[in-house]
Amino acid sequence: MEFQTKIGRSTADTIQVHGYDLAEDLIGKITLADMAFLGAKHRIPTEQESKMLNAILVAICEHGFTPSSISTRLTYLGAPEAVQAAVAAGLLGAGTVYLGAMEYVAEMLQKAFAQFGDDKNIEELATVVIKDRKEKGLQFPGFGHHIHKVVDPRTGKLFEIAEETGFLGKHSLLLLEIHRQFCEEKGKKITLNAVGAIGAIMSDMEIDYRVVKSFAVASRAVGLVAHLVEEIDKGRKDSIAQQLFEYVEDNTDYRG
C-alpha cells in the first residue's frame, strides 16, 4: 500500500511544505494567514492576497461573548488540563448562525455564476438569484446582525480593502446588488454583515466555497485563546465560567 501527498515531507535535515523549504523559504518570511493561503492554494500569496486575507482573519477573530467563547470558557472550567479541548469546544459551533454563513454566501455566489452563467449583467443575475432562492424556500445568508442593525462597521472596511487590493470583483458586486434589491423589496435597510462580505471577497480571491469556513475556524481558534487567558488570569473561583455555572445552578427550577 502506498500513500501520496504534496503537502509535507521531512528528511534528516530538511522539511518541505508544498514544495517550499520550511526553514529557508517560510519561517520568518510569511504570516500565519499566508500559511493558510498556501495550504488552500498551494502557493505563497501575492502582497495583495496577503493583505486581504490578513484583514479578513483579523475581522472575524474576536466576537466577545458568543456561544463559541462561552463554550471554551466552560470547557476549560471542567478540564483545565486540556486547553486544546476548550478551544475545540468553541470551534464546534461554527454553523449557520455563527461563522458558517460565509461559506453559504460563497456557495450562493459561486453557484449563481456556474448555474446562470456570466452572460447576464449583475443586476439581472441578482434578480434571478433572489427569485430562485425564494422559489426554493432558501434564506439569504450574510444579511442581518443582532447588534449592528443597520451597518456592520467591518463590512465597509473589508470592501474598501478589497477594492484597494483588486478583489472587489464580480462576486462582491453580485452580493451588493442582491443586498440592494433585497432591501428595496423589504422597504427597509437590512445589514450586510461581515461574513457576507467575506464570502464574496474570498470568492473573488478564487477560493472554493467548501474551504471558506475553514479560514474562519482558524481565525476563531486564535481569538479563543484570549478567553482562555482571561479565565486563567481571573482564577478558578472568580472566573466567568464559574460565575455562569453558579448562576445557572442557583436560578434553575428543578422539577421532577
Encode pLDDT of 164-180 as tens digits.
Answer: 999 999 999 999 999 99
Task: Express each pLDDT in 185-224 by its tens digit.
Answer: 988 898 999 999 999 999 999 999 999 999 999 999 999 9
Q: Where in the chain is the domain with CATH 1.10.230.10?
A: 100-207
* C-alpha span between 50 and 35 (Å, rounded): 10
Q: Residue 10 is inside which H or E element, if any?
A: strand 8-10
Higher pLDDT: 94 or 186? It is 186
198 touches 103 (CB < 8 A) = no
How many other CB atoms are there within 10 angstroms of residue 74's CB atom?
21
For the domain spanning 100-207, the CATH number is 1.10.230.10
Q: Spell out a b/e string for 189-214, using b for 16 or more CB atoms within 10 Å of the CB, else e.
A: ebbbbbbbbbbbbbbbbebebeebbe
pTM of this prediction? 0.92
SS3 of 8, please? strand
Average model confidence (pLDDT) across the chain: 93
Does the pLDDT of residue 85 top 70, yes or no?
yes
* C-alpha span between 148 and 105 (Å, rounded): 19
User: DSSP labels for 14-62?
Assistant: -EEETTEEIIIIITTTS-HHHHHHHHHHSSPPPHHHHHHHHHHHHHTT-
SS3 of 251, please? coil
DSSP bridge pairs for 10: 15
Task: Give residue 98's identity as a one-letter amino acid code.
Answer: Y
Predicted confidence band at 145 (pLDDT cuts at 50, 70, 90)? low
Task: Express each pLDDT in 15-68 by its tens digit.
Answer: 999 999 999 999 999 999 999 999 999 999 999 999 999 999 999 999 889 899
- Grid coordinates representing 78 are 471542567
